[in-house]
Amino acid sequence: MASSPLPSSSNLTQSTFSHILSLYPTILDHLAKQSRKKKLLELDHIRYHELPAKLKSRRESDPSSAYLEKLEVQQAVDWKLAHGTFRPSISALVASNSPATIQTTTTSAFALYTSSPSNPLPALKKLVELKGIGPATASLLLAIYDPDQVPFFSDELFRYVCWDENARWARTIKYSWREYEELWEGVKGVQARIGDGVTAVEVERVSWVLGKMTGDEELRGLVGASGSSKLTGEGKRTGTEAKRGSGEDSSKRTEKGVVKANKIGKRKTPDLSVTGGTRTSKRIKGEGV
């Protein structure tokens, strides 16, 4: 295939972005039924709604001591394995961490991020101290803490936002800090271009939808001709579309840390090369993802 039939992340319009986002529930439900992953829908609700709500409540009660419990980290990992590539050994490694270790480590990591939200690396490096937690899973835990600004290092998000025309959706990922820096800057660029309070978690979902739809005629057929035509950017982004895609009214996204359209372009990209160790593209020791 010479070129992608789907919109590139560098020229997404608000209407196209909103429409693709609205397809997420339909495609998730279809894949859950197709793969018989009955728990996928339940885990999706936990990952995108329950866990962020719990962290938000803890943060509001005491901003310096927000944390995740062992069961909550296990639920996040279960979602990641069900949503992406299944690696059975990871669950056992994560389970080997004590509840106290997980709570103290996540508390420290979230405090590090809060002290310097433009540079997530120190927090991510703290999280990878946990057994079974690599850079991608660490970014998932931090994304649950701040879904508006922190991108989850998912395969689809990295491959779409950091598009390589030669490798395309088959691009090899090393799960390195350098790649996460590239991903962070790419997602911030998408947020700045689209504006309208677009969050990192929304960019993640859009990338996942596009990744799953590419080359899958059944999914493209499920969307239908009218849905496919909107991938060209026709129409206007509406409140209804945003509501369907994100699972919440975007006007309610008033949690601290949300960056409005006129401010997001001013956020600094992380200097991942000078904080928390030597910048390297070498795959992180341990679990790796």
pLDDT in tens, 51-60: 999 999 999 9
CA distance 30 to 25: 9
Which residue intervals of the chain are DSSP H helices?
Answer: 14-22, 24-34, 38-45, 51-61, 70-83, 88-95, 99-115, 121-127, 135-145, 155-161, 177-194, 200-213, 217-223, 225-229, 239-246
**pLDDT beyond 90 at 170:** no
pTM above 0.85, yes or no: no
Instruction: Quote the tokens at residue 2.
Output: 């010479």
Q: How far is CA 200 from CA 5, 53, 55, 187, 243, in A?
A: 23, 16, 17, 7, 16
Position 276 scores a pLDDT of 33
**Segment (H or E) for 175:** none
37 falls in which pLDDT band (50, 70, 90)?
A: low
Higher-confidence residue: 237 or 115? 115
Higher-confidence residue: 236 or 72? 72
